Amino acid sequence: MSRASLLLLLAVLHPGPAPAAEGRQVFAARCAGCHAAAPGAPPGAGPSLAGVVGRRVAGDAEFDYSPALLAAREAGQVWDAGLLQRFLADPDAMFPGLWMGANGLRDAADRAAVAAFLAGTTRAD
């Protein structure tokens, strides 16, 4: 067997962790201090992100958002996985005046993994 096909076989037999599972770990380390992701959880320092994919921007009714995010909601913006990843690349650039107080994620794989994890969460109990 060639070296290339051996490496391919190893990659197939030992896939990395699924993005959503990896995203859960990144979320726990980098986001959960401020954001809940469990169904029905109340906001913390930041809004709940349970079910955020498909939700309007500034869509946690229990959270007091900045004018920057409220304006985006008024403009009809809705979170999808792509918007979430672009947001996490540079949160303040997307929403000047954001109150998040965190830097997002520098690694594109981390951003994709967190978006995949959040896409699997739901708002309701």
Residues lying near ligand HEC in the complex (CB under 6 A): 30-31, 33-35, 45-47, 49, 52, 57-60, 65-66, 68-69, 84, 87-88, 98-102, 105, 114
Minimum distance, C-beta of residue 16 to ligand HEC, in the bound complex (Å):
20
Judged by CB, which is closer to ligand HEC: 17, or 54? 54
CB of 95 to ligand HEC, least distance (A): 7
Which residues fall within 8 angstroms of residue 109, CB to CB, at 6 or more apart? Answer: 22
CB of 2 to ligand HEC, least distance (A): 41
Question: Residue holding tokens 């995949």?
Answer: 116
- What's the DSSP call for residue 42? P
CB of 116 to ligand HEC, least distance (A): 12
DSSP secondary structure string, 70-113? HHHHHTT-B--HHHHHHHHH-HHHHSTT----S---S-HHHHHH
**Considering beta carbons, is residue 8 or 39 the nearer one to ligand HEC?**
39
- Select 13 or 20, whichever has its Cβ closest to ligand HEC: 20
Instruction: Please give the Cα distance from 85 to 110 (Å, whole number).
Output: 9
